């Protein structure tokens, strides 16, 4: 294929990607040329935020890494490893190579995020129940009420009545998971409530 035709094909693919994904569903790591570590941190934060805000597919552009030592795309390889980790954690549900330098990623439902975290039982990411009131006290009562609804619904699958401290721990765990994907600043708590409400709906529909 001639250089002209390669450029023409590349331009067409870029146009199709713009129509399909748009700015809100595209993370372009190629243009800023970050280190592998920076790219991983940016991609994880972005995917967690996108999971809370939207659903469906998103596009991550890493570039092919032709300028990397040995021609091996270190950013592409690092993002590939990250996506495998985030799939196990319930942040994404599927990933596919889109081009040599990009991935199409399917965001997981929020209910999958909550279920995966419970299965992993990673105690290093939890806080003792005694700290729960202080950790959540800054939230508005309506937000805490929604969190409690989500916790009770999530724990209902265990099939037995549980002590209050189990619910408190579940509230704090879910808050930590969901808040990690909420953009801070003005309107942040409203965005958190929307995420909790969506998670409740997904748990009820499961």
pLDDT digits (tens, 9 = 90+) for 36-90: 999 999 999 999 999 998 889 999 999 886 666 555 579 999 999 999 999 999 9
pLDDT at 130: 45
Average pLDDT of every residue of the chain: 83
Q: How far is 15 from 145, CA to CA, in rounded Å?
A: 45
Write out the two tokens for 52: 């809370």
pLDDT digits (tens, 9 = 90+) for 128-171: 444 455 678 889 999 999 999 999 988 886 666 667 778 888 89
pLDDT at 21: 87
Q: Which residue's entry shows tokens 């372009």?
A: 28
What is the sign of the dihedral through the CA atoms of 37, 39, 42 and 44? Answer: negative
Q: How far is 81 from 104, CA to CA, in rounded Å?
A: 14
Instruction: Give the residue ranges of DSSP H helices in the chain.
Output: 3-20, 36-53, 74-88, 110-120, 132-136, 141-156, 164-179, 188-205
**What predicted TM-score, i.e. pTM, was given to this entire model?**
0.77
61: left (phi over 0), alpha (psi -120 to 50) or beta: beta
CA-wise closest residue to 48 among 172, 180, 147, 175: 180
Angle of helix 188-205 relative to helix 164-179, nearest 10 degrees, comes to 120
């Amino acid at each position: 294929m001639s250089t002209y035709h390669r450029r023409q094909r590349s331009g067409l693919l870029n146009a199709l990607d713009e129509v399909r994904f748009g700015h809100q569903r595209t993370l372009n790591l190629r243009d800023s040329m970050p280190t592998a570590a920076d790219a991983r941190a940016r991609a994880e934060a972005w995917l967690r935020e996108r999971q809370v805000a939207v659903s469906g597919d998103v596009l991550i552009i890493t570039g092919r890494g032709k300028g990397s030592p040995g021609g091996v795309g270190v950013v592409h390889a690092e993002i590939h490893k990250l996506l495998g980790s985030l799939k196990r954690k319930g942040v994404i549900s599927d990933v596919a190579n889109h081009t040599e330098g990009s991935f199409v990623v399917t965001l997981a439902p929020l209910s999958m995020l909550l279920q995966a975290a419970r299965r992993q039982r990673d105690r290093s990411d939890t806080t003792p129940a005694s700290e729960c009131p202080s950790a959540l006290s800054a939230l508005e009562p309506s937000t805490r009420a929604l969190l409690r609804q989500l916790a009770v619904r999530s724990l209902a699958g265990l099939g037995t009545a549980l002590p209050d401290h189990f619910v408190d721990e579940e509230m704090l765990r879910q808050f930590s998971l969901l808040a990690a994907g909420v953009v801070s600043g003005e309107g942040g708590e409203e965005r958190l409530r929307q995420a909790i409400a969506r998670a409740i709906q997904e748990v009820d529909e499961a």
